[in-house]
């Protein structure tokens, strides 16, 4: 029987690439999305995967998703949103929403996934952070702050859940050319690529391969790690 995985925010970009990489490694993948229904359903057909609509910021919706889906052995907390602009222009509602999705979403999914993992004394949780946590991001203060919370939560959960045989790690992408960066010009993206040691920006598959590796038996002694996938952008 295949081991079961849930990838949140998996309709496109890094999430979709991660779902494909895990399916290729033999996981039975479940796909979560909130807004991009057509893309999520298409990916579900491609992978033969079940698709669930849920706003991870809403505890009730997450619980309903798990009730329908059943237990998983791997949880990839990829769902996230960004907000760009001066913090003086940010509303309290926008601040609350980005934390609700990027941090609260992990809390809700972990709470639902843990009973089964603790029962079987095995499980893998992989969170999506960002290299902005180290570098800081002008006009991205709220997003960067959420990723700081994600990294702190990752390390703390690794300590807390290790005795139950549960590994918790995070992947920290660099400049990955997805829809999240659609506001950047080609010139801005190229300038960022020049700063990376490998001289290029990443694609979703570059991050997905790292996540799949962390989910594999090759990393069964790795927990509490924040693994960069940034091409040497931050060294």
Catalytic residues, which ones? 143
Distance of CA 36 to the CA centre of its chain: 16
Burial class (CB in 10 A: 0-12, 13-18, 19+), 75: buried
Alpha carbon of 123 to those of 37, 52, 110, 208, 230: distances in Å? 28, 21, 11, 19, 26
Burial class (CB in 10 A: 0-12, 13-18, 19+), 146: buried
Measured between alpha carbons, how far is 34 from 15 in angstroms, rounded to an integer? 12
Q: Are residues 21 and 205 in contact, defined by beta-carbon separation less than 8 angstroms? A: yes
Measured between alpha carbons, how far is 196 from 198 in angstroms, rounded to an integer? 5
Greatest alpha-carbon pair distance for the chain in Å reads 52
| Enclosing H/E stretch for 125 | strand 123-128
- The structure tokens listed for 63 are 């619980």
**Where in the chain does DSSP place strands (E)?**
4-7, 28-33, 50-53, 74-77, 123-128, 166-173, 226-229
- The structure tokens listed for 192 are 């960022």
């Amino acid at each position: 029987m295949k081991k079961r995985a849930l990838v949140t925010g998996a309709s496109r970009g890094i999430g979709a690439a991660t779902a494909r990489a895990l399916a290729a490694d033999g996981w039975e993948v479940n796909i979560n999305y909130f807004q991009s229904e057509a893309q999520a359903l298409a990916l579900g057909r491609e992978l033969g995967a079940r698709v669930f609509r849920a706003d991870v910021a809403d505890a009730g919706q997450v619980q309903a998703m798990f009730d329908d889906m059943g237990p998983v052995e791997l949880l990839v907390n990829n769902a996230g949103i960004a907000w760009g602009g001066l913090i003086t222009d940010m509303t309290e509602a926008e601040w609350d929403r980005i934390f609700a999705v990027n941090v609260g979403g992990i809390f809700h999914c972990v709470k639902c996934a843990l009973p089964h993992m603790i029962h079987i004394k095995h499980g893998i949780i992989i969170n999506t952070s960002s290299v902005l946590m180290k570098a800081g991001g002008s006009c991205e203060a709220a997003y960067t702050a959420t990723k700081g919370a994600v990294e702190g939560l990752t390390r703390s959960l690794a300590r807390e859940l290790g005795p139950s045989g549960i590994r918790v790690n995070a992947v920290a992408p660099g400049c990955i050319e997805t829809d999240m960066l659609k506001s950047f010009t080609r010139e801005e993206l190229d300038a960022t690529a020049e700063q990376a040691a490998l001289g290029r920006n990443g694609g979703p598959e570059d991050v997905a391969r790292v996540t799949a590796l962390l989910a594999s038996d090759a990393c069964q002694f790795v927990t509490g790690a924040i693994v960069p996938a940034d091409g040497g952008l931050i060294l």
